[in-house]
Homo-oligomer: A and B are copies of this chain.
Amino acid sequence: MEELVRDSFTLPGESGYENLTLKLAEKWGADVIRDSDGTQLSDEITNSGYGIYSTLCLIRSDNAWAKQNMDKLQQNFLMSFPVMAEGETVTISPLKGFFREQFKIDNNSNAKEFWQVFDRTTQKEVPLSDWNFDPVSGLVTIKNTQKYHYYTVNFLAIRLWEEISMYNHITNNWGDKEHLMAVEPRYPETQTHILNWLEDWCIQHPSTTVVRFTSMFYNFAWFWSDEKNCRDIFSDWGSYDFTVNPIALREFEKQKGYKMTSEDFINNGKYNQTHNVPSAKYLEWMDFINEFVVSFGKKCVDLVHRYGKKAYVFYDDSWIGIEPYGKRFSEFGFDGLIKCVFSGFEARLCAGAQGVTTKELRLHPYLFPTGLSGEPTFAPGGNPKLDAQKFWQNVRRALLRKPVDRIGLGGYLHLVEPFPDFCDYIEKVTDEFRLLKSFHQSGEPYTIPGKILILTAWGTLRSWTCSGHLHEHPEVDLINIIESLSGLPFEVEFKNFEDIKRDGIGKDVKVVINAGILNSAWSGGEHWKDTKVIEILTEFVANGGGFLGIHEPSACDFSSQFFQLAPLLGVDKDLGTKKCLGKYHYSVRPNHFITAETSDISLPVCEGIFVLNKEVDVLAQKDNTPILTGYCFGKGRSVYFSGYRYGIENTRLFMRAILYAGQNENAIKYYICSNPMTECAYYPSVKKIVVINNSGMIQKTTVQTMEEKTFLVTLKPYDIEIISLN
């Protein structure tokens, strides 16, 4: 491997371990040392000549001020647990069941202005005159109730404990350590205080070169209950629930001329999870919040800049309202964007953002005794080197396609001492990273011509993500698909239904993907009732485009079919209401381009899938249900997958499906590894092919160039090899 400048690495320093810090900084080629949650860097470290990152979370940074300004804490709407009427009156304690250390009822604002009471049995709102809230008892009394109906109260809560502080505190048994509170930056006094505090902080931290905001003002929604066996009431990485409060609600109404009601957020107790189709009103609210976060956020960034420091933002936790894929992101003036990554799609999420100079990945494992599900990592029984290999395998294939500028680690550095093999492996990772970065700096890698358009209800705004990490909702098809795509040689764009209705489908698009279950934001729900959408996609495929549908693509219980694009997919789904309609008896087609390299196809079954006619090629079936089909429609082609889970074999299957749908089969010959356990990227400007082994075993593979030259490579487990074409 070539010698490269040993920089672009961020090391978590640790006080009391100054020697270790400096030794590993040297070994891993760090140019920056950072603090971590709960750590402070000693002067010895901050004065060692390295760049210094300091993490700051402005809304929980001055708890003393927050305590004196309890009327300026962050708020949100909650729906009380339903209570059954046993007579003509119902009394509800709205907070019952919620975690009292997180929430209290907002007694400051007028309940009748913001709250709503519903008969959830009839789905009708109870008139204001039929209910009353008593701030003293904290109870809502509803009159004229119907026996056996269930009633709920949508109410405004005040949050007493900033959620990341709460989670760390409880997980780590911090006992009587102070509970941090999140202040609401909409109040002018809060803004003044935050800016003053930040200025003081800048003055007092001259050695800090980069302020790493963690993150801006609003955490993703995370409601806790008082029941230990059901801690999460609601938890969504992309939800805007924590941005709600009386002044924001009033300002919104003034600005837009209409009101956001509590029910717009409560949404029948479902709240607004990112996996669901967002309503037009909710999108307006998001935009309204984004405008505020950018405008006040810019003031903070400007201040940091005035003190000669750079401002980076961490793309997690309090990231709500920042929207790196939103239209205003570049207005912040951030110098850098940092994303923690387990997966390839998260690397692409960071790499693809526009409007910052520096993009950085915080790799896993986090330097912590235990991992996500409590298993040992840096503790007896753990194998952090293997963990690092697996995570790097995910991330590296994405970095073959699109570059970032830096990588780093986080956590408690002293924990790595008993694991020298881990320390050696990270050295190798940093070298591999720098090599890939150097190739990208010379020019982009070869991609197969023809864009892929991923059509969802979110479009660009939720590019390269489906809300949260893959392990949190591994059943979401699209998150698995984008994980596969993150390392494939395709250009990918994310569009929503409004985009394609306004602009059509780009001439450069070869394949449209729609993936997900009924009523998910990923599949599109009610958007499929729009005949314009049907016309555009039908035209696209009829004229030679490719369509890839996964699980319940274009699903909507609307017309004669369940999949609104059934005629072009060649398959549809019976929900049981077509039990008595005959289904075509197919045979599985044995030889096909898509399945040529996959002998045992493993996809989740979607019950009720049936084939429309004899022209449909069933390529695989399970339990007598087709799981993979291909179909020619007009001049185009479609492919249907009954579901999708990320894996090395499935990634190859999926790549072939894209090439088939795009009538691009020939492209598989060039710069594609013959062995699906391996992948490669060709960098024409440096005439190098990078080959990676995605498996824990030795792999042999060949790669062919467009000049029809073939190279044979043997790779050690998880290793990387470079083929020079010079």
Tell me the bound Cα distance from A578 to B275 in angstroms: 9
Q: Are A584 and B227 in contact (CB under 8 A)?
A: yes
Query: Which chain B residues lie closer than 8 Å to A146 at the CB level?
Result: 531, 535
Q: Does A5 contact B (CB under 8 A)?
A: no
Name the one of B473, B476, B531 contacting A122, with C-beta atoms under 8 angstroms: B531
Query: A233 and B581 in contact (CB under 8 A), knowing A121-B534, A538-B84?
Result: yes
Query: Which chain B residues lie closer than 8 Å to A4 at the CB level?
Result: none
Q: Does A614 contact B (CB under 8 A)?
A: yes
Q: Does A577 contact B (CB under 8 A)?
A: yes
Query: A234 and B581 in contact (CB under 8 A), knowing A268-B559, A559-B120?
Result: yes
Nearest-Cβ distance from residue A635 to partner chain B, whole angstroms = 12
Q: Does A148 contact B (CB under 8 A)?
A: yes
Interface centre among A230, A234, A518 (most CB of B within 10 A): A230
Q: Are A575 and B534 in contact (CB under 8 A)?
A: no
Q: Does A586 contact B (CB under 8 A)?
A: yes
Name the one of B234, B270, B518, B538 contacting A148, with C-beta atoms under 8 angstroms: B538
Q: Does A307 contact B (CB under 8 A)?
A: no
Query: Which chain B residues lie closer than 8 Å to A476 at the CB level?
Result: 579
Q: Are A230 and B582 in contact (CB under 8 A)?
A: yes
Nearest-Cβ distance from residue A544 to partner chain B, whole angstroms = 14
Nearest-Cβ distance from residue A237 to partner chain B, whole angstroms = 9
Residues 577-615 of A, flagged 1 when their CB comes within 8 A of B and 0 if not, give 111111111100000000000000000000000000110
Tell me the bound Cα distance from A146 to B123 in angstroms: 38
Query: Which chain B residues lie closer than 8 Å to A274 at the CB level?
Result: 580
Name the one of B123, B231, B235, B268 contacting A580, with C-beta atoms under 8 angstroms: B235
Name the one of B147, B535, B576 contacting A275, with C-beta atoms under 8 angstroms: B576
Q: Does A232 contact B (CB under 8 A)?
A: yes
Q: Does A208 contact B (CB under 8 A)?
A: no
Residues 135-158 of A, flagged 1 when their CB comes within 8 A of B and 0 if not, give 000000000001111101000000
Residues 472-501 of A, flagged 1 when their CB comes within 8 A of B and 0 if not, give 010010000000000000000000000000
Tell me the bound Cα distance from A529 to B476 in angstroms: 30
Query: Which chain B residues lie closer than 8 Å to A584 at the CB level?
Result: 227, 229-230
Name the one of B275, B538, B559, B577 contacting A577, with C-beta atoms under 8 angstroms: B275
Q: Does A514 contact B (CB under 8 A)?
A: no
Nearest-Cβ distance from residue A579 to partner chain B, whole angstroms = 5
Q: Does A21 contact B (CB under 8 A)?
A: no
Q: Does A8 contact B (CB under 8 A)?
A: no
Q: Does A539 contact B (CB under 8 A)?
A: yes
Closest to A231 in B: B582
Total copies of this chain within the assembly: 2
Q: Does A248 contact B (CB under 8 A)?
A: no
Q: Does A33 contact B (CB under 8 A)?
A: no
Q: Does A558 contact B (CB under 8 A)?
A: yes
Nearest-Cβ distance from residue A642 to partner chain B, whole angstroms = 14
Query: Which chain B residues lie closer than 8 Å to A239 at the CB level?
Result: 580
Query: A148 and B542 in contact (CB under 8 A), knowing A520-B576, A579-B275?
Result: yes
Residues 459-472 of A, flagged 1 when their CB comes within 8 A of B and 0 if not, give 00000000100000
Query: Which chain B residues lie closer than 8 Å to A560 at the CB level?
Result: 82, 120, 150, 152, 268-270
Query: A535 and B148 in contact (CB under 8 A), knowing A517-B576, A575-B518?
Result: yes
Q: Does A225 contact B (CB under 8 A)?
A: yes
Query: Which chain B residues lie closer than 8 Å to A273 at the CB level?
Result: 577-581
Tell me the bound Cα distance from A535 to B576 in angstroms: 28
Q: Are B148 and A539 in contact (CB under 8 A)?
A: yes
Name the one of B148, B227, B567, B582 contacting A534, with C-beta atoms under 8 angstroms: B148
Which residues from 94 to 140 on chain A have a C-beta closer than 8 Å to any C-beta of chain B? 120-123
Q: Are B586 and A229 in contact (CB under 8 A)?
A: yes
Nearest-Cβ distance from residue A480 to partner chain B, whole angstroms = 15
Query: Which chain B residues lie closer than 8 Å to A539 at the CB level?
Result: 147-148
Q: Does A276 contact B (CB under 8 A)?
A: yes
Tell me the bound Cα distance from A366 to B269 in angstroms: 56
Q: Does A236 contact B (CB under 8 A)?
A: yes
Closest to A276 in B: B577
Name the one of B276, B520, B567, B577 contacting A150, with C-beta atoms under 8 angstroms: B567
Which residues from 72 to 108 on chain A have a C-beta closer than 8 Å to any C-beta of chain B? 82, 84
Beyond contacts A148-B542, A230-B585: 4 other A-B pairs, Cβ-Cβ < 8 A, are A121-B559, A230-B584, A274-B580, A519-B577
Q: What are 20 inter-chain pairs, A to B, with CB distance below 8 A?
A: A82-B567, A84-B538, A123-B559, A147-B539, A148-B542, A149-B531, A225-B582, A227-B613, A230-B583, A230-B584, A234-B580, A234-B582, A235-B582, A268-B560, A269-B581, A271-B581, A275-B576, A275-B580, A517-B575, A520-B577
Task: Report the 4 A-B pairs with minimum CB-CB distance, sorted nearest first.
Answer: A232-B582, A148-B538, A273-B580, A236-B580
